[in-house]
Amino acid sequence: MWQPDVLVVGGGPAGVAAAVDLAGMGLSVLLAEQRDRLGGAIHRAYVGAGASPVRRNVHHQRDWQALLDRVEQAGARLTLQLQSVFLGVEGDGRYLLDDRAAGCVRSVRPKAVVMAVGGVERVLPIPGWELPGVSTVGGMQVQLKETGEAPQGPILVAGSGPLPLALAAQLAAAGNPPLALLERGTPFGTALVQPGAAFNGLRSGPPLAEALAYARQLWRSRVPYRTGCQVTAIEAMAQGLRVTTVNGRGQTQVYEVAHLALHDGLDANQTGLPRQTGAGLPVVWAGDCREVLGAAAAVQDGRQAAQQVAKALGRPCPGASFDAPLQSARRLQAALRTLYQAPVHDITPETVVCRCEGLRASGFAALQGAGSAHEIRVVGRFAMGACQGRFCARAAQALAAQTGVAFEPQDLNGSVPRWPLRPVSVAALAAYADE
Ligand SMILES: Cc1cc2nc3c(=O)[nH]c(=O)nc-3n(C[C@H](O)[C@H](O)[C@H](O)COP(=O)(O)OP(=O)(O)OC[C@H]3O[C@@H](n4cnc5c(N)ncnc54)[C@H](O)[C@@H]3O)c2cc1C
């Protein structure tokens, strides 16, 4: 069993910022990350030789390199435990990690915990979204960043928010511009009637510069940007996908593509996290899993979490305030939510809601009488699959609300989360190393 002062789960900007600050205060830190490298959602490392051919934002790169330098400087106070998946908390308070490199489950008994497991992409269920060839925008971006290559064949990018814009521009720069970028919202029209949101977006500094650079790339590559436009159906063809879309005037258009990337926003990933508490073992959430505020704010939030932990452990710590940068990130996110607001389409009965178990909306309707999140989970098996509700809980919540059953998405996971939160092999459990 490991007994560090602090266990930090998640090696993205928030977790790394928290870990290096805590190590800098003289505390011993175990940083557990499920992947084989640090970086989180945004800093996916290129796995090829030499420099990545995918252009990265200079501003983000500089901040990330500064954090990596501090990881080096932390020396023995900071232990990196890569390829280690947080599984949950045992009844007696041990934190369980699936050490995939060693092939065994290990336990940790820290004095405090920082959970920094990031966000999760939201994708609204559409008929056919479970088909091969459909991915999330983030998933395709990760593939592009890690391999340095855009997927082959025609691509369509659709959904809502700034991330599809970034992906479309990066695909174009990598030599395979998408056929079109379809945005469900109407950000330019909304900006005219919501000038406050437009003003907050325009004064955001680096994020605005980043968006303009993406827009320039799309314009140079002649990628059509269609607003007020959404995907209504996806069908498999002998080769590839047929994607039907409709615009605000009700006109349909069909695209034949090899790949479709979908994205409708980011949500905090709070599925199964131990609750935040100051009493007993202090647990602090940081970064996107606490509140989705973007990469720069995740660093500030991680640093804030380090201060909270140090205070709870009675350690002296610098009293820096992170309120101003977090507040400014919150303003930007609120502006983006307003500018990109879009109508949410109804889920048709044949639409798959839970992709892990292939459960359709019609199956949900057959659950008449299920009056609680618990019944919907146990009887209907929603949120019972490999994702444990990270992807389907929000859609299940919307369907339940139509039948008058109200609950929060995380309620589907139960009031006391049970481990394992992620699939774990029986061999790893059998090799549970608790020495
Ligand atoms: C694909 C994508 C692209 C983005 N691009 C931008 C951008 O261009 N600009 C911008 O400002 N923001 C961007 N964002 C948002 C930005 O990435 C986040 O705001 C920021 O990375 C949040 O940092 P974080 O440390 O909170 O979470 P993350 O960066 O998501 O890091 C969380 C880490 O926790 C690990 N983890 C999760 N679960 C477990 C577990 N059970 N056990 C162990 N480890 C676990 C993950 O592997 C990950 O490394 C993007 C987000 C995504 C998903």
- In this structure, are residues 311 and 317 in contact, taking their beta carbons and an 8 Å threshold? yes
Which atom of ligand 1 has the smallest separation from the CA of 166? 8
Residue among 133, 123, 128 at smallest CA distance from 155: 133
Pocket flag, ligand 1, residue 13 (CB < 6 Å)? yes
Question: Atom 37 (ligand 1): residue with closest C-alpha?
Answer: 117
Q: How far is the CA of 64 from the centre of ligand 1 (A)?
A: 13
pTM of the model: 0.94
Q: What is the pLDDT of residue 261?
A: 98
**Cα(365)–Cα(379) distance, integer angstroms:** 12
Pocket flag, ligand 1, residue 42 (CB < 6 Å)? yes
Q: How far is the CA of 377 from the centre of ligand 1 (A)?
A: 27
Which atom of ligand 1 has the smallest separation from the CA of 84? 43
Residue among 112, 139, 67, 55 at smallest CA distance from 303: 67
Q: What is the pLDDT of residue 278?
A: 67
Q: How far is the CA of 11 from the centre of ligand 1 (A)?
A: 9
Using most ligand atoms within 8 A of CB, pick from 8, 35, 42, 83 the residue to mutate for ligand 1. 42
The pair of three-digit structure tokens given for residue 62, joined into one six-digit string: 């500089």
* b/e map 287-302, b = 16+ CB within 10 Å: bbbbbbbbbbbbbbbb
Pocket flag, ligand 1, residue 11 (CB < 6 Å)? yes
**Cα(186)–Cα(174) distance, integer angstroms:** 27
Which atom of ligand 1 has the smallest separation from the CA of 301? 26
Q: What is the pLDDT of residue 409?
A: 84
Q: How far is the CA of 378 from the centre of ligand 1 (A)?
A: 30
Q: What is the pLDDT of residue 346?
A: 83
Q: What is the pLDDT of residue 125?
A: 94
- Per-position pLDDT tens, the chain of length 435: 899 999 999 999 999 999 999 999 999 999 999 999 999 999 988 888 877 778 777 888 899 999 999 999 999 999 999 999 999 998 888 999 999 999 999 999 999 999 999 999 999 999 999 999 999 999 999 999 999 999 999 999 999 999 999 999 999 999 999 999 999 999 999 999 998 888 888 887 788 888 999 999 999 999 999 999 999 999 999 999 999 999 999 999 999 999 999 999 999 998 888 887 766 899 999 999 999 999 999 999 999 999 999 999 998 887 788 999 999 999 999 999 999 999 888 889 899 999 999 999 988 777 767 778 888 888 888 888 888 888 888 888 888 888 888 888 888 877 777 789 899 999 999 998 776
Q: What is the DSSP string of 328-388?
A: HHHHHHHHHHHHT--PPPPPPTTSEEETTTTEEHHHHHTTTT--SHHHHHHHH-TT-STTT
**Cα(8)–Cα(10) distance, integer angstroms:** 6
- In this structure, are residues 150 and 176 in contact, taking their beta carbons and an 8 Å threshold? yes
Q: What is the pLDDT of residue 435?
A: 65
Residue 134: count of CB within 10 angstroms of its CB? 23
Using most ligand atoms within 8 A of CB, pick from 36, 82, 288 the residue to mutate for ligand 1. 288
Pocket flag, ligand 1, residue 85 (CB < 6 Å)? yes
* Sheet-wide strand order for 84-89: 84-89, 95-99, 104-108
Pocket flag, ligand 1, residue 12 (CB < 6 Å)? yes
The pair of three-digit structure tokens given for residue 399, joined into one six-digit string: 């369907």
Which atom of ligand 1 has the smallest separation from the CA of 297? 19
CA of 350: how far to CAs of 71, 126, 209, 245, in Å?
49, 9, 42, 18
CA of 79: how far to CAs of 72, 270, 281, 422, in Å?
11, 25, 20, 23
- In this structure, are residues 141 and 170 in contact, taking their beta carbons and an 8 Å threshold? yes
